[in-house]
Structure 1
Amino acid sequence: MNQPVVTIVVPCYNEEEVLGETTRQLTYLMEDLETDRWIHPQSRILFVDDGSKDGTWELIEKESLVNGFVTGLKLSRNAGHQNALLAGLMEAKDFSDCVISIDADLQDDIGVIRDFILKYKEGCEIVYGVRKRRDSDTFFKRVTANGFYGFMKKIGIDLIPNHADFRLMSKRALVELCRYEESNPFLRGIIPLIGMKTANVYYDRKERLAGETKYPLKKMLAFAADGITSFSIVPIRFVTVIGVMAVCLSMLTGAYTMVHKIVGNTAAGWSSLMVSIWFIGGLQLMGIGVIGEYIGKIFREVKRRPKYSIETSLNLNKVGNKPKEREENELPVVSRY
């Protein structure tokens, strides 16, 4: 426990522009932690290439030859961020006491990883990295993010607000995670279900080092929808409530029309009829769409297809590989944290 074997899992998709700097900063961190006897010499950095189309994997292979900390895992195709992260976690748990996940862009502050390890040594099985504020986000992103967390809380989904996938998990927590066998894992929702002793570590998020975000608006909306439908049937109930309200409204409209007919007034014409048809038709299509989303999830779950396929792994079975000595000019001076 005094010197745990720690693995930092870094999912990567087309991160050629940023990977060199990410590797240097994480290597500095690991060397400092080992020198200060915070981590065991067998600790390492595991890059997971999620089917990148650029030179990401070639850079990982090259770095693994000169950097004893670096190992790699290449997926045979693009399986998505959550599946790539899960692949790294499942591989790392076999040779680690605890695993830390972080995105390749290093917007999350690696300087708080010491705090993660300290909390782990104090007995925490899961440590969440939580943003202190969202000042660096655009107004739209800040409002939508806060709205998403608020909505998830109202429908009973236990998420950690302003937490992404920057966290530490102990081997015991990872073993429990194996029991959750969803085909489309939403880890931010699954991991709080594990329970165990947890802690939050707060930090300020940085700007992306280089390259472009892999989560544009379209993917963010899909990710949010996946999270909602993976953990709650509230959307179906909501559509049911709207349907009942629409039926009640139609009955009231029908009664109103009958009264006017009895007293001799001419009923409203074509416009009101068409509005009602379009309104009811829209509700029906929306309901079918929501139900279809859940049926689609059931369809994927019952097939039990593998979440990912591993094409190549680097040095995962090598135990005790100490970092190779570098010449001073091989490791440029950069800001460590």
Structure 2
Amino acid sequence: MAPSPGSRTELSVVIPMYNEEEVLPALVARLRPALAATGVPYEVVAVNDGSTDRTSALLHELLADWRELRVVELRRNSGHQAALTAGLHSAVGAYVASIDADLQDPPEKIAEMLELAERDKLDIVYGVRADRSTDTGFKRRTAGLYYWLIRRMVGERVPSQAGDFRLLSREAVEALKALPDQQQVYRLLVPWLGFPSGQVAYHRDERVAGRTKYPLSKMIRLAVDSITNFSAAPLRIATWLGVASFFGCFAMVAATLTIYVTGHTVPGWTSLFVAMLFLGGIQLICVGLLGEYIGRIYTAVQRRPTYFIGYDSSQESRPTADAAPE
């Protein structure tokens, strides 16, 4: 069994998992010796995010001979960030590392992150991707655009090329748990805390097995959540679009009056049609942006939990539904 909440655990490693049966053996083969080499008491919090394959069965098989492993089962698929939240809220270590199961982020770097945090008394250590040559050109360009856009809107405190591979102190974890955010985007929430931080660079590898859990649609959703959760800039863009359309229409009115006064009035079906499309498009963009923010207000008012824990192997029996406030 994993260490109980009352015992002293120096390091917790949180791993959200969704349909990772193909990569799980390779993950354990690298993660277990890497954590043993740290020489500190640790726990591994594997959060099964409603997997439909044999991920849950494999995790429970590992419980038999890996006492540091702790399995947390969510009742349904709640998404990567919600599963990460469940792990962070469940972890008991003085330091909490988060890593994906696909081994694109090397677990061997966790020891270096822990050493840096303890030596320099840091609350946050980011794993920064110094080399993304294994990613496709499209993914590298879109990732670069994402970080550029986020840094422009949120500020330079957001480290470039830092994902969800990081180490947090207990103080930082407790600060995150106290935040009322309903849709957590930790790659922005963590820098927002402003705690002392450092970086560890690493080479990003290819996914060992299985398929990516972040296709283009989820990447777009993450970008939208990142922007709308942390900045009112899109609403300001809508305002400036409205101002620009006003002056554009004013110029068109002035041009129309000039043509009328000079006697060169001609049927203007094309210009009228273009103007209608232009104004209609701007209005739809503005309504869509307002809808995104209103939707988030609606979600906040509902206060529905982002996840429900159905089982935690650190407890003797299956608990009743335990939820994190949304």
- 3-state DSSP of counterpart to 2:70: strand
**1:214 is aligned to 2:213:** yes
Q: Which runs of 4+ in 1 moved over 3 A?
A: none
Bigger relative CO (Cα 8 Å, ≥ 6 apart): 1
- State the shift of 1:228 in Å: 0.5
- 3-state DSSP of counterpart to 1:295: helix
1:267-286 map, 5 Å? 267-286=266-285
Q: Compare 19-28 and 292-301 and name the one that shifted more.
A: 19-28
What are structure 2's unaligned runs of at least 5 residues?
1-7, 318-326
8 Å contact kept, 2:15–2:100:
yes
Structure 1 equivalent of residue 324 of structure 2: none
Structure 2 equivalent of residue 162 of structure 1: 161
Counterpart Cα distance in 1 of 2:246 and 2:28: 60
What are structure 1's unaligned runs of at least 5 residues?
319-337
**1:113 is aligned to 2:118:** no
After superposition, the C-alpha distances for 1:223-243 in whole angstroms (9 at most, x for unaligned) are 111100000010111111011
Structure 1 equivalent of residue 73 of structure 2: 74
After superposition, the C-alpha distances for 1:150-192 in whole angstroms (9 at most, x for unaligned) are 1112223442110110011111111111121211111111111
Counterpart Cα distance in 1 of 2:70 and 2:216: 32
Structure 2 equivalent of residue 60 of structure 1: 59
Relative to the length of structure 1, the TM-score reads 0.88
Structure 2 equivalent of residue 238 of structure 1: 237
1:43-192 map, 5 Å? 43-92=42-91, 95-122=92-119, 123-157=121-155, 158-192=157-191
Q: Aligned partner of 2:148: which letter?
A: G
- The CA RMSD over aligned residues, in Å, is 1.6
Structure 2 equivalent of residue 301 of structure 1: 300
- 3-state DSSP of counterpart to 2:131: coil
- Tell me how many residue pairs correspond in the alignment: 308
**1:27 is aligned to 2:25:** no
Q: Aligned partner of 1:149: which letter?
A: Y
Structure 2 equivalent of residue 333 of structure 1: none
- State the shift of 1:133 in Å: 2.3
- 3-state DSSP of counterpart to 2:307: coil
Counterpart Cα distance in 1 of 2:154 and 2:46: 34
Between the aligned residues of both structures, percent identity stands at: 38
Relative to the length of structure 2, the TM-score reads 0.91
Counterpart Cα distance in 2 of 1:268 and 1:170: 70
Counterpart Cα distance in 2 of 1:193 and 1:245: 33
- State the shift of 1:141 in Å: 1.4
